[in-house]
Chains A and B, each alone.
Chain A
Amino acid sequence: MTSPIRKGTVFAIVQNLISVKIDAPVMNKEICYVTSGKTNERLMAEVIKVQDKLVQIQVFESTRGVKVKDEVEFTGNMFEIDLGPGLLSKNLDGLQNDLNKIEGIFLKRGSYNMAIDLDAEYEFNPTANVGLTVKAGDWLGDVKENWFEHIIMTPFKLKGKHTVKEISPKGHYRVKDVIAVLSPVAGGDDIEVTMHQKWPIYLPIKAYKEKKRVFKPLETGVRVMDTLNPMMEGGTGFIPGPFGCGKTVLQHVISQYASADLIVIAACGERANEVVEIFKEFPKLEDPRTGRKLMERTIIICNTSNMPVASREASVYTAMTISEYYRQMGLRVLLLADSTSRWAQALREISNRMEELPGPDAFPMDLTAIISSFYARAGYVQLNNDLPASITFIGTVSPAGGNLKEPVTEATKKSARCFYALAQSRADSKRYPAIDPIDSYSKYLEYSEVQDYMKKNISPNWVDNVLLIKNYILRGKEAWEQINILGDDSVPLEYHDIYWKSETIDFTFLQQDSFDKVDCYSPLERQKYMLELILDICKARFEFHGFEEVQNFFKNIINILKQMNYSPFQSEKFNDYKTKLDQTMAEKRISGE
């Protein structure tokens, strides 16, 4: 891959697209550096097209000050990121620069660094023996990275079978030290392996045995997701919603409480202050499952909206590649990307500048293909050593004008299996999370593997209960429409009963206060308890004389249930409210199944 360094010169400049003259071979997607003669800054760029002997390169930064005849140096490599111990808890930009290593308040153009410290020492513990036959991605040993065993693997680029010729004994080594030597079974030169390897971000890492159908729910602590539209380990989902509907808050909540081993957050073209919130709060917040700080299981890839557009495209791939690296170690990785629309817009800007014929809304024609092959990199896999591992991917989509028929949403709908539609109407009436209970879906509820798992591990009638509660919500909506058309007095009292039962579900189960210490995270056990309690209310028959009585009764019930949501599960306070609820119900109840 490493052809010698070749040099060319700038011929034309249009925004961040530069044409280069060069008398040497050039690879598509090759990385090159433009040296701005004026300031001597080296600007990173990528070959995106070759036309009429001119090489078109896309510069990852502003081209202000670049002149014709400035020098361009071609490196011979595609854009590759560094993989190895030391990525955990890092704040990286879209091109994998460690933001904390960059000095000064402002991001100076042309400042790049390496996210991994090659001189850092780790204690290596070999697990493979000399003589073992290995393939790409097989485990050789491990080192301790923060709290977990970071597996050192054979290079993912390894072709064919190799034999372990040498492996270093237990001891301290630097990341760049050779810790194993492999020799190809088919003959050839030996390969030295260090803890560090590189991988081109646009290619998926496929060093596993097989990809399987998902079956195991991923807990997020968000009731309307876990119970009504569950996400699976290795599943894919997306959250479209107009601005102001709580996309980002929802993603933050998921990133805090999801039952994953590692969270990779790709802040792609979004607000800097939102990322700052993660920077500042994650080191303080605790993971409710392990008690460790959230930051210890998080990697942030941050390319905010004011950072260069071209590296925005790279940022989602960087995040995915890092996720794949950790998946290879047998971890359950959750990748969150906010927002994939910004990524699509970056693709649009680039395609626009290249003067390609546009597709719908000026997006590139192959947008759907690009999005679906990205979503396809998630999944539940069986590694070479038969251990399970997964990447769950949830992306947000910011549909232009809140219109779910726009190209990015449409394209994503074809690739993602869970759809969490955020509704403007719910956000307007502050019913958060604004996930629409009727439009949203999880295709996984239909998987027989998933149903079996839930029956066995949650409760035998779990799936039936979920469908039942969805039915109550739907009936409530129909009743509400009738009440609205005919008026409170002109509909049978039963309509009010149905409507208010659905409001009870809405206020006490669908809605969740993500800013309350207790309510923000609801474990599945608690969800199950509340679901059964609310179903009991829905199934009960009450005696009412007039619709105002119905309203008052259910408002009371809602109030008590909400107080329960705010109280720690099974605490004294919680149980007191439960008693109060039973009393209130008993007053009006005529029968109940």
Chain B
Amino acid sequence: MSNQAFQKVFTNLTTITKATCTVQAEGISNEEMALVDGMPAQVVKIIDDQVTLQVFSGTSGIFTNSEVVFLGYSPRLKVSDELCGRFFNAYGEPIDGGPIVEGKETEIGGPTVNPVRREQPSELIATGIAGIDLNNTLVSGQKIPFFADPNQPYNQIMADIALRAQVDKIILGGMGMLHDDYLYYKSVFDNAGEMDKIVCFMNTTDDSPVERILIPDMALTAAEYFAVEKNEKVLVLLTDMTLYCDALAIVSNRMDQIPTKDFMPGSLYSDLAKIYEKAVQFPAGGSITILAVTTLSGGDITHAIPDNTGYITEGQLFLRMDTDVSKVIVDPFRSLSRLKQLVIGKKTREDHPQVMNACVRLYSDSANAKTKLENGFDLSDYDKRALDFAKEYSKNILAIDINITVDEMLERCWTLFGKFFGKHEVGIKQELIDKFWKGE
């Protein structure tokens, strides 16, 4: 954000609050960027000649006669192939010591894709994890978050998925990320030798929290460049969206807005939708897939952040520690991929949908049996078989450290059906049973 011509400079500050300052100025446009005493800020309100600016890093140290330089543009990013392999801060400035990126100046948070110009997502993104590929298949152009507790290994899983997925670019948007996790991602990508397909926008806990609200738009502007101009398949990782929402709440609070549920701004739904809806399959082949993390507090999904997220995203993935087999699994009950219907049984084997449902139903029977057991009741023969099935299903299919193809997953499921159940107990169409049943 260097000084350039056509900049307007004003020095008469009339109000300074914790996060905003108001300067007397003319000819300023809404949402324009500015530097207040050298610190990045953005216009959030204009009343006649009183222009209110949100100073991202806070207003400490600002004088009433500090220099306010208006830059004449809203937040933007220079996009080109030079972005590859680079790390940036929330303003799109390099933080890896490399040179400034040259390219086409693009306003972030750009326009919406015309819904009639979208293509229906139809390409499966294989991750090797059965909890995803088998039960909650990921499709390119989809947006889906992990709903995770802060202590769960979501960053590791995201990195695994990113590297296994057959995509052209991976764009990581880190919000309030611990410095250690930032280094973790960096080293994982480095070790995989995939640096040239990674672009990273990073706001760590060392940076100002309000800056975070620029990260998703930065990441998605870069993604749109590769998906639209280059027709590439782009995977965007956003972590952690809860911290992004917290930053929104801080801003809205400082703007004196009336908070709604859980002290979140009333526009939370629209704010999140603007980000997640950037996920798209373009007709020319390019696509943007968003995989995000929303951390929960105490597993509460009725909190405004996961709740609004759930209504926007195309499903959600829950991680759970299965104590019976001591493995982390993607919870088959609470997880959901809304787009899976577009690929399962179509891009995968015909028995996929019914096998998937049967497994989940039987797994749910095992949960009921477990409750019975805990309440001290006798188990029926069926209950016992369901319990045994669940253990093997969890250990040999669902566990996230297993990396197999969808066909292999289906085969393993049929093996388990044959081992523990009769044909009438699985509730699958007769034709499929005739074709795939293992055992007598």
Kindly report which residue of chain B lies nearest to residue A562, judged by CB atoms.
Answer: B427
What are the residues of chain A within 8 A of B372 when measuring CB–CB?
Answer: 487-488
* B116-152 interface code vs A (CB 8 A; 1 in, 0 out): 1111110000000000000000000110000000000
What are the residues of chain A within 8 A of B121 when measuring CB–CB?
Answer: 273
- Does B370 make an interface contact (CB < 8 A)? no
What are the residues of chain A within 8 A of B301 when measuring CB–CB?
Answer: 401
In residues 14-48 of chain B, which contact A (Cβ within 8 Å)? 26-32, 44-48
In residues 402-420 of chain A, which contact B (Cβ within 8 Å)? 402-403
- A272:B120 contact, CB within 8 angstroms: no
What are the residues of chain A within 8 A of B349 when measuring CB–CB?
Answer: none
- B46:A271 contact, CB within 8 angstroms: no
Docked pose: A558 CA to B426 CA in angstroms: 11
Docked pose: A102 CA to B112 CA in angstroms: 12
Docked pose: A430 CA to B26 CA in angstroms: 60
- A306:B112 contact, CB within 8 angstroms: yes
- A487:B378 contact, CB within 8 angstroms: yes
Interface size class of B (residues with CB under 8 A): 35 or more
Docked pose: A45 CA to B248 CA in angstroms: 26
- A244:B113 contact, CB within 8 angstroms: no
In residues 141-169 of chain A, which contact B (Cβ within 8 Å)? none
What are the residues of chain B within 8 A of A106 when measuring CB–CB?
Answer: 110-114
Docked pose: A271 CA to B360 CA in angstroms: 26
In residues 356-401 of chain A, which contact B (Cβ within 8 Å)? 358, 361-362, 398, 400-401
Tell me whether A107 and B266 are in contact in the complex, defined as CB-CB below 8 angstroms, given that A13-B45, A68-B26, A244-B310 are known contacts: no
B72 to chain A, nearest CB (A): 9
What are the residues of chain A within 8 A of B314 when measuring CB–CB?
Answer: 271, 273
- Does B316 make an interface contact (CB < 8 A)? yes
* B173-190 interface code vs A (CB 8 A; 1 in, 0 out): 000000000000000000
- Most A CB within 10 A of own CB, among B30, B111, B273: B30
Tell me whether A67 and B29 are in contact in the complex, defined as CB-CB below 8 angstroms, given that A99-B115, A244-B310 are known contacts: yes
Docked pose: A307 CA to B278 CA in angstroms: 11
The stretch from A186-194, A327-335, A548-556 touching chain B is A548-556
A305 to chain B, nearest CB (A): 3
The stretch from A130-138, A213-221, A223-231, A345-353 touching chain B is A345-353
- B302:A107 contact, CB within 8 angstroms: no
- A105:B282 contact, CB within 8 angstroms: yes
* B354-387 interface code vs A (CB 8 A; 1 in, 0 out): 0001001100100000001001111011100000
Kindly report which residue of chain B lies nearest to residue A516, judged by CB atoms.
Answer: B429
- B27:A430 contact, CB within 8 angstroms: no
- B360:A348 contact, CB within 8 angstroms: no
- B48:A11 contact, CB within 8 angstroms: yes
What are the residues of chain A within 8 A of B30 when measuring CB–CB?
Answer: 13, 63-67
- Does A275 make an interface contact (CB < 8 A)? yes
The stretch from A80-88, A276-284, A522-530 touching chain B is A276-284
What are the residues of chain B within 8 A of A555 when measuring CB–CB?
Answer: 424-425
* B294-337 interface code vs A (CB 8 A; 1 in, 0 out): 00000001111001101110111000000000000000011010
A58 to chain B, nearest CB (A): 14
Tell me whether A400 and B307 are in contact in the complex, defined as CB-CB below 8 angstroms, given that A99-B115, A305-B270, A362-B258 are known contacts: yes
Tell me whether A105 and B114 are in contact in the complex, defined as CB-CB below 8 angstroms, given that A273-B339, A429-B364, A559-B424 are known contacts: yes
- Does A469 make an interface contact (CB < 8 A)? no
Docked pose: A303 CA to B236 CA in angstroms: 24
- A488:B117 contact, CB within 8 angstroms: no
A175 to chain B, nearest CB (A): 23
- Does B261 make an interface contact (CB < 8 A)? yes
- B267:A14 contact, CB within 8 angstroms: no
- Does A428 make an interface contact (CB < 8 A)? yes
What are the residues of chain B within 8 A of A559 when measuring CB–CB?
Answer: 424, 427
What are the residues of chain B within 8 A of A244 when measuring CB–CB?
Answer: 310, 315-316, 336
What are the residues of chain B within 8 A of A429 when measuring CB–CB?
Answer: 361, 364
Kindly report which residue of chain B lies nearest to residue A64, judged by CB atoms.
Answer: B31
Docked pose: A104 CA to B117 CA in angstroms: 8
Docked pose: A309 CA to B152 CA in angstroms: 35
Tell me whether A91 and B424 are in contact in the complex, defined as CB-CB below 8 angstroms, given that A68-B49, A244-B315, A305-B269 are known contacts: no
- A309:B270 contact, CB within 8 angstroms: yes
* B65-109 interface code vs A (CB 8 A; 1 in, 0 out): 000000000100000000000000000000000000000000100
Docked pose: A106 CA to B269 CA in angstroms: 21
Docked pose: A11 CA to B51 CA in angstroms: 12
Select B45's contact among A14, A64, A99, A306, beta carbons within 8 Å. Answer: A14
What are the residues of chain B within 8 A of A105 when measuring CB–CB?
Answer: 113-114, 117, 228, 282
B296 to chain A, nearest CB (A): 13
What are the residues of chain B within 8 A of A352 when measuring CB–CB?
Answer: 257-258, 266-267
Docked pose: A563 CA to B364 CA in angstroms: 22
Tell me whether A276 and B29 are in contact in the complex, defined as CB-CB below 8 angstroms, given that A244-B310, A488-B377 are known contacts: no
What are the residues of chain A within 8 A of B142 when measuring CB–CB?
Answer: 273
A279 to chain B, nearest CB (A): 6
What are the residues of chain A within 8 A of B353 when measuring CB–CB?
Answer: 515
Docked pose: A243 CA to B308 CA in angstroms: 9
Select B269's contact among A64, A345, A562, beta carbons within 8 Å. Answer: A345
- Does A539 make an interface contact (CB < 8 A)? no
What are 29 A-B pairs with beta-carbon distances under 8 A? Answer: A13-B46, A14-B44, A63-B30, A64-B30, A65-B74, A66-B29, A68-B46, A99-B114, A104-B114, A105-B228, A105-B282, A107-B111, A243-B311, A271-B277, A272-B280, A273-B120, A273-B121, A273-B314, A345-B266, A352-B266, A352-B267, A400-B307, A429-B364, A489-B378, A548-B380, A548-B381, A562-B427, A563-B429, A566-B429
With contacts A68-B27, A352-B258 known, what are 10 further pairs, Cβ within 8 A? A106-B110, A108-B111, A243-B311, A273-B141, A275-B115, A345-B266, A348-B260, A352-B266, A362-B266, A429-B361
